[in-house]
């Protein structure tokens, strides 16, 4: 596994950082995973659609700068494809088998820009519900870990 999680914003609360660190530690036995954070832009209390678009585009530009030309990109978004853990494990394993870096992208509070979505090789959704980006990152780390366990034929609680 050669993967990166590219995300907008930091994990500010200690409990999020501790949860992320635990899954990152567990994942080291399956390969390399890197977390790359870009700063989230301040969002005014009342924001127009054009201002939302500007913020998404600026964050998107910063995200795209971190994606290499040969990366396989999976964008996390509500409109993405939903699948169960075994199916996700198969998709991830097929991506890892290419030898290319797999980059998971988590946007900020306003979502991902059209340019980032257009660069994605696959769009993934955990649910039609909206989650804060901190929780989405922990859920993603857990699902990557679960996928590695499934692919390795190892038992993992349900």
Q: What is the CATH number of the domain that holds 113?
A: 3.40.1280.10
Q: List pLDDT tens digits, range 50-105.
A: 999 999 999 999 999 999 999 999 999 999 999 999 999 999 999 999 999 999 99
Main-chain phi, psi angles of 123, to 5 degrees? -115, 130
Most confident of 23-32, 42-51, 149-158: 23-32
Tokens representing residue 49 in the block: 């659609």
Residue 48 lies in a domain: no
Residue 79 lies in a domain: yes
| Domain count across the chain | 1
Residue 156 lies in a domain: no
User: Quick count: other Cβ atoms within 10 Å of Cβ 121?
Assistant: 13
Name the DSSP class of 30.
T
Classify burial at 64, counting beta carbons within 10 Å of its beta carbon; exposed 0-12, middle 13-18, buried 19 or more: middle
Distance CA 2, CA 70 (A): 13
Which range of residues forms the domain containing residue 88?
2-41+53-151
């Amino acid at each position: 596994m050669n993967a990166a999680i590219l995300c907008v914003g930091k994990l500010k609360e200690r409990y999020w950082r501790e949860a992320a660190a635990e899954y990152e530690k567990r994942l080291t036995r399956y390969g390399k995973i890197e977390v790359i954070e870009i700063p989230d832009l301040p969002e005014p209390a009342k924001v127009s659609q054009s201002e939302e678009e500007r913020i998404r585009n600026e964050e998107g530009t910063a995200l795209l700068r971190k994606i290499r030309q040969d990366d396989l990109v999976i964008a996390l978004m509500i409109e993405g494809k939903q699948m169960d853990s075994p199916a996700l494990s198969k998709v991830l394993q097929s991506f890892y088998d290419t030898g290319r870096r797999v980059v998971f992208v988590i946007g900020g509070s306003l979502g991902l820009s059209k340019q980032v979505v257009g660069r994605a090789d696959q769009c993934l959704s955990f649910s039609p519900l909206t989650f804060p980006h901190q929780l989405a990152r922990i859920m993603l780390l857990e699902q990557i870990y679960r996928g590695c366990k499934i692919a390795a034929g190892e038992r993992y609680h349900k």
